[in-house]
Amino acid sequence: METLAPMTGRFVLLDRDGTINQEVDHLDHPDQVALIPGAAAALRDLRSAGLGLIVLTNQANVGRGLLPPDRLEEINDRLAALLSDEDVRLDGLYVCPHAPEEACECRKPRPGLAVRAAADHGFLPYEAFVVGDHAADMGLGRGIGAVTILVRTGHGEDELATGAGAQADHVVADLSEAAGVILDIVLSEARR
């Protein structure tokens, strides 16, 4: 995957399903991947502001034997192609393929994926923004000291009902609103 050096040195760490692409129960085929309306434009806006874009996704169905690794790669390639069609390039896409019972270090909310991404791309995790629709995304963000943004798309509404909003610095409707929050923060810091 092509890497573009962000101008700000800051990155947005994004969940995949329910944040960028439509939530599909047990997504297992590339044809099921569809962008959430406005997601590509939001990512373009973030990229235009010089922010790096990295996807961090838990994919337990691989560890459970329900999704072959090559099919997961096809799904991720489809997402990248859909984004490319909208002039959006990701800096990276990191996957935890383990089932929860494996107790790995890369399954969100543990920090493994974010730590690996930070090492690969040279950014400070606590300067990142974490955007997702699950409590695990918010837990990851809290764990690395990042700004956390819970979107109401995907599982976001259900997660709010179970208290995930308490871990979020911001709760927004979707990725478009999340981008607005991030850009406001970045611009505000630049004025200081």
**Is residue 9 pLDDT above 50, yes or no?**
yes
Q: How far is CA 156 from CA 18, 54, 56, 136, 188, in A?
A: 8, 20, 16, 11, 27
Only one residue has tokens 């560890």, namely 63
Tell me the catalytic residues.
Answer: 15, 17
* Structural tokens at position 154: 């995907």
User: pLDDT by residue (tens digit) across 131-172?
Assistant: 999 999 999 999 999 999 999 999 999 999 998 889 999 999
Q: Which residue has the higher pLDDT, 6 or 141?
A: 141
pLDDT at position 1, please? Answer: 34
Q: What is the pTM of this model?
A: 0.94
Residue 4: pLDDT band by 50, 70, 90 thresholds? very low
Helix ranges (DSSP H) in the chain: 39-48, 60-63, 69-85, 112-121, 135-144, 156-161, 175-191
What domains sit in the chain, N to C, each tagged with a CATH number?
A: 11-191 (3.40.50.1000)
User: pLDDT by residue (tens digit) across 40-86?
Assistant: 999 999 999 999 999 999 999 999 999 999 999 999 999 999 999 99
Q: What is the DSSP string of 99-142?
A: -GGG--SSSTTSSHHHHHHHHHHT--GGG-EEEESSHHHHHHHH
**Is residue 5 pLDDT above 70, yes or no?**
no
Residue 8: pLDDT band by 50, 70, 90 thresholds? low
Q: How far apart are CA 192 and CA 178, in angstroms?
A: 22
pLDDT at position 191, please? Answer: 87
Four-CA torsion 53, 107, 63, 29, nearest 10 degrees? -30
**Is residue 3 pLDDT above 50, yes or no?**
no
Cβ atoms within 10 Å of 179's Cβ, excluding its own = 26
pLDDT at position 165, please? Answer: 86
104, 84, 102, 103: which is closest to 93 by C-alpha?
A: 84
